[in-house]
Homo-oligomer: A and B are copies of this chain.
C-alpha cells in the first residue's frame, strides 16, 4: 500500500505556506497557471488522448472526458476570472469590544486542506485548484481512473507554474485513482479539513458512510415545479420547458411537474413545448387522461411508483396531479431531495407560503430551477452545489470554502466568574 500519509503531510505543510501569501500573489499564481496551461496545451491534449483511447467514443463519459484547444482556452479563461474575484479571506464577520475591554473579531480564514473526490471530468482539476488556492486552501485531488493521464498532466503543469512563482508545489496533489486513495482521503483526520465529493450518488453515499473527515455532500437533485391553481400558463410553459430541457444531465433539471387538478384541462398546453425535445412523460392517471391524444402517444406513459422521487438526468419527466396546495407540499416533502423547487403562481399568499414551507436549498417563485448555479447567483464561481444543511446550502462559491476564527485582543483581562 502506498503511503499516502506522506502526501497528506506535505500538503498540510504547504497549506501553512499558502496562508501567508497575499491576494495579489495568489492572483499572479493563477495567471501563471493559466499561461502555462496554454503553453503546454499540446502536452495536456496528448495525455488526454491516451485516456480517450481507452474509452468507446459512444460512451456518454467520452465527451465529458475530452479536452480540446477550445475547451482548454475556456478553462484558462475561468482561471483568469477567478483571479479577478475579490478574496474571500480576511472578511470581518463580527467586530465588537466587550464591556471588559476585550476586542473580539470573527474573521474568515481558509479551511486548510480540502479534499475533492470526482469522476471523469479533467476540467474539475483546474477548477478545484483555482478556487482552493484563491481561498487560501491547499487541495488533495482524487480523480477517476478514466481521466488519470489527463489529471496527472494537469497537476504537473500546475506544479510547473507554482515552482516558477516560488510557491510550494504541494499546495495541490493528485492521489492515484482507486478506492484505496478515496478511503485514505476520507480518513485523513488531522491532515484534511473538509472533503467535497462530486459526482454520482454512489460516490457521494460512499463518502458519507466512510468519512471521518467532515464532508459536504453535493449532487443529487430531485426537482419539482408545481403549477398552481393560480399559475400563469405562458410563464409556466416556458419555465417547465427550460427547467427540463436546457440540460438534462444537471442536478437542477426538472424531474416532476405537479399540477393542480383545476388546471388539468390546460395540461396539454403546459407541457406542449416538451414534445420538440422528445421528452417522455410518466403521467399519473388524471394527467394521462388529460394528455391522451394531445401529447404524442410514443412519448406518453403511465407513471409507476418509481416515476416519483427519481432523478432522471434524461429527457424524461413525471407528472403528479394534486387536489390542493397542501398536497403539492406533501408530495415535494416526500419525494424531493431538498435541492431546487419551484412554484408557478400569481397568488402572492401561495408564493409566500411556498417560500416559507418548502425545505430546500433553493426555493423559486415563477423562475426556472435552471438558475441554481453559482455563476447565476452572482457568486462568481462554483465548486459544487451542497445538498446538506451544514455550513453551506445550494451553490458554493469562494466564501463557502472558507471558515472563520475568533481573534481576541486585550490588555491582561482575566475571567472573574
Taking chain A's interface residues, is the majority helix, strand, or loop, or is none over half, making it mixed?
A: mixed
| Residue A359 is within 8 A (CB to CB) of chain B in the complex | yes
Interface size on A, as a range, is 35 or more
A19-B356, A111-B389 known; 13 new pairs, CB 8 Å cut-off, are A20-B356, A104-B377, A214-B215, A216-B390, A355-B409, A360-B405, A362-B406, A363-B405, A366-B409, A367-B412, A370-B414, A390-B390, A394-B406
Does A300 sit within 8 A of B, measured CB to CB?
no
CB of A238 within 8 A of CB of B393, answer: no
Is A77 part of the contact surface with B, judged by Cβ < 8 Å?
Answer: no
Chain B residues with CB under 8 A of A410: 364-367
Q: Closest 6 A-B residue pairs measured CB to CB? A: A235-B412, A242-B414, A367-B410, A370-B415, A391-B391, A389-B403
Judge whether A209 is part of the interface by a CB distance below 8 angstroms: yes
Task: State the A residues within 8 Å of B (CB).
Answer: 16, 19-20, 96, 98, 102, 104, 109, 111-112, 193-194, 208-209, 212, 214-216, 232, 234-235, 238-239, 241-243, 246, 351, 355-357, 359-368, 370-371, 376-378, 388-391, 393-394, 403-415
Whether B414 and A368, one on each chain, are in contact in the complex, defined by CB atoms closer than 8 angstroms, is yes
Known contacts: A368-B413, A415-B368. The answer to whether A406 contacts B390 by CB under 8 A is no
Copies of this chain assembled into the complex? 2
Contact of A390 among B194, B235, B409 (CB under 8 A): B194
With A409-B351, A410-B364 given, is the CB distance from A371 to B415 under 8 Å?
Answer: yes
> Hey, which chain B residues are within 8 Å of A391, CB to CB?
390-391
